């Protein structure tokens, strides 16, 4: 029998009615857990690990997942959730650290294990009528722990074990509380998606009503309510986020939308011409193009720290919008393509994790006196969801599948000081990277590919002459969700063509390197 929450928790049916909260204890996979739940057509939201019980009730979740984390639950000051959350009757699934925490709170003991498990492990399933329906008796799982549950109270039942972990999965006898020592959210656990599916459907009683089409209709209705008869300004960058934001707004308010492309001097090669062509062909809307290259370069002069770059760009960007907005009658709103990972990583979600990974140009760098009311229709979506929404809205494939481009543009790919000359070098190198990957038929097989100009010079030889020129790093990754990513194993001949062309065609570069780091521990962008 499924543990369906009482009617008072479910509220009126809408696209957010089936909601699962992910309590973040500092896991590198917290966002991945949320993404995997959404793949089950159930809306997932990441919140603070210490979220108050009354805030949980306000969210009306069907289920709660406690993420993993780097701490040990028995350490002083280790992050904890409110014990009351486990007694609410809402189904709870603890993963790794989350499992250790719930078993400890409910009378168990966690200890450092002499036999640590990291990586793929064979797990033996003892069975469960809900969580492990359809799961083979023996299955591979991904472990990443030095601690493990040494003892549980008599209220818990063991559901699975490995050779070195006797309690790899558990269930409470009375409460709808489950625990997994392994990580079902990663692809290294082949049946992990089925386990999460079982949790949200068999245990939480969700029917899987989360649909992007429903989300779009709800977002359009919400924006019409918010905007009324006013005019909205939407910044265009050439990326899929701003394009989908504009398309969704156009569906909502039509000719009340004015789009502004700010040429900040940090765009990719031929970006301005491309955006003008795309939006002239697909939108009958008011398009303004602002040449602000000198303003942004002046603001960035001497700035080398990435967060300072983002702040400077954010301030200059808004000032440009303010000036251009004076030419647009009744402009009250500013639309931005802020995504859910941006909100979470910036620590800007009301119940979100407090740690800030980066200052996002939208949610982290805006001045207090904005002058506009914000419209952010995509702030609940992940990148792959935005692409699917773009296709549903009728955007062309070349716009939807274009590789992401950071809001601060080439400024955060030009490491060190940003100057006109260095940007010109980077722009040419970046264009060559994309051209060669497209020519090799690998553009859609990679998720993001670009060049980075390093603040490093090295010795080289060209035409019998000694050079002391710049180095360029090439970054190419593949990922399903941009929360984790692996470096792309490009064919050697493609890398050779990229290197040869950059060194031969881009004046001032004599060395090309290929970045073979994954996320984590690295990020996709260098800054």
Instruction: Report the alpha-carbon distance of residue 5 to residue 205 in Å, rounded.
Output: 8
Within 10 Å of residue 384's Cβ, how many Cβ atoms? 16
Task: Identify whether the C-beta of residue 414 lies closer than 8 Å to the C-beta of residue 423.
Answer: yes
Among the listed residues 96, 165, 204, 206, the single catalytic one is 96
What is the SS3 assignment for 460? strand
Active site residue 81: no
Give all strands (DSSP E) within 37-195, no chain letters: 43-48, 63-66, 92-95, 109-125, 138-151, 156-161, 169-172, 177-180
Q: Which H or E run includes 473?
A: strand 465-478
Active site (annotated) includes residue 305 = no
CB of 235 closer than 8 Å to CB of 171: no
> In sequence order, what are the beta bridge partners of 355?
none
Say how far apart CA 60 and CA 53 lie, in whole Å.
Answer: 11
Out of 183, 197, 361, 403, pick the active-site residue.
183
Q: Give yes or no for a contact between 157 and 106, defined as CB atoms under 8 angstroms apart.
A: no
SS3 151: strand
Tell me if 280 sits within 8 A of 273, measured CB to CB: no
CA-based nearest residue to 80, from 52, 116, 117: 52
Give, for 263, the enclosing helix (H) or strand (E).
strand 257-263
Are the CB atoms for 38 and 481 separated by under 8 Å?
no
> In terms of DSSP H, where are the helices of 335-472?
340-345, 383-392, 397-400, 420-439
CA distances from 106 to 6, 83, 102, 127, 400 (A): 23, 9, 6, 22, 48
Q: Is 513 a catalytic residue?
A: no
Residue 362 vs residues 81, 190, 344, 406: alpha-carbon distances, Å: 30, 36, 12, 11
Note if the bond before 394 is cis, omega within 30 degrees. Answer: no
Catalytic residue among 185, 385, 436, 527, which? 185
Q: Which two tokens stand for residue 113?
A: 């294990």
The helix/strand/coil state of 223 is helix
CA distance 86 to 334: 41
> What residues form DSSP beta bridges with 505?
none
* Helix then strand then coil, % of the chain, to nearest 5: 35, 25, 40
Q: How far is CA 25 from CA 55, 94, 101, 190, in A?
A: 17, 11, 10, 24
- For the annotated catalytic residues, the residue numbers are 96, 183, 185
């Amino acid at each position: 029998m499924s543990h369906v929450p009482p009617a008072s928790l479910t509220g009126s049916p809408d696209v957010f009615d089936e909601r699962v909260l992910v309590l973040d204890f500092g896991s590198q996979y917290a966002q991945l857990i949320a993404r995997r739940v959404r793949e089950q057509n159930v809306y997932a939201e990441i919140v603070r690990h210490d979220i108050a019980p009354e805030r949980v009730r306000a969210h009306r979740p069907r289920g709660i997942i406690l993420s993993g984390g780097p701490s040990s639950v028995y350490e002083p000051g280790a992050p904890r959730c409110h014990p009351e959350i486990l007694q609410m009757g809402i189904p709870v699934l603890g993963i790794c650290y989350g499992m250790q925490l719930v078993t400890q709170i409910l009378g168990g003991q966690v200890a450092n294990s002499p036999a640590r498990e990291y990586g793929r492990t064979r797990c033996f399933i003892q069975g469960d009528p809900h969580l492990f329906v359809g799961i083979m008796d023996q299955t591979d799982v991904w472990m990443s722990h030095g601690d493990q549950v040494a003892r549980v109270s008599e209220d818990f039942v063991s559901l699975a074990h490995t050779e070195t972990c006797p309690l790899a999965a558990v269930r409470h006898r009375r409460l709808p509380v489950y625990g997994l020592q392994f990580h079902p959210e990663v692809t290294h656990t082949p049946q992990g998606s089925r386990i999460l599916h079982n949790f949200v459907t068999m245990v939480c009683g969700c029917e899987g009503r989360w649909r992007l089409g429903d989300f779009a209709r709800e977002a359009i209705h919400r924006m019409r309510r918010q905007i009324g008869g006013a005019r909205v300004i939407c910044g265009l960058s050439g990326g899929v986020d701003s394009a989908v934001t504009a398309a969704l707004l156009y569906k909502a308010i039509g000719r009340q939308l004015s789009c502004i492309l700010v040429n900040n001097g940090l765009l990719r090669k031929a970006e301005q011409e491309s955006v003008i062509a795309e939006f002239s062909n697909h939108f009958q809307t008011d398009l303004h193009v602002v040449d602000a290259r000198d303003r942004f370069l002046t603001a960035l002069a001497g700035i080398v720290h990435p967060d300072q770059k983002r702040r400077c760009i954010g301030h200059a960007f808004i000032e440009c919008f303010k000036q251009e907005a004076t030419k647009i009658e009744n402009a009250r709103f500013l639309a931005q393509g802020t995504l859910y990972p941006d909100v979470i990583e910036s620590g800007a979600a009301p119940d979100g994790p407090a740690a800030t990974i980066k200052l996002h140009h939208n949610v982290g760098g805006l001045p207090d006196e904005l002058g506009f009311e914000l419209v952010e229709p995509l702030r609940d979506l992940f990148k792959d969801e935005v692409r699917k929404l773009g296709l549903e809205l009728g955007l062309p494939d070349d716009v939807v599948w274009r590789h992401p481009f950071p809001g601060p543009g080439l400024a955060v790919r030009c490491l060190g000081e940003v100057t006109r000359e260095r940007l010109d070098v980077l722009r040419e190198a970046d264009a060559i990277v994309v051209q060669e990957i497209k020519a090799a038929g690998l553009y859609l097989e990679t998720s993001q590919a670009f060049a980075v100009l390093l603040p490093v010079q090295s010795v080289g030889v060209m035409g019998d002459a000694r050079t002391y020129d710049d180095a360029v790093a090439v970054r190419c990754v593949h990922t399903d969700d941009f929360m984790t990513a692996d470096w792309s194993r490009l064919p050697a001949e493609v890398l050779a063509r990229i290197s040869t062309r950059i060194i031969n065609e881009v004046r001032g570069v004599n060395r090309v390197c290929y970045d073979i780091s994954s996320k984590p521990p690295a990020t996709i962008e260098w800054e």
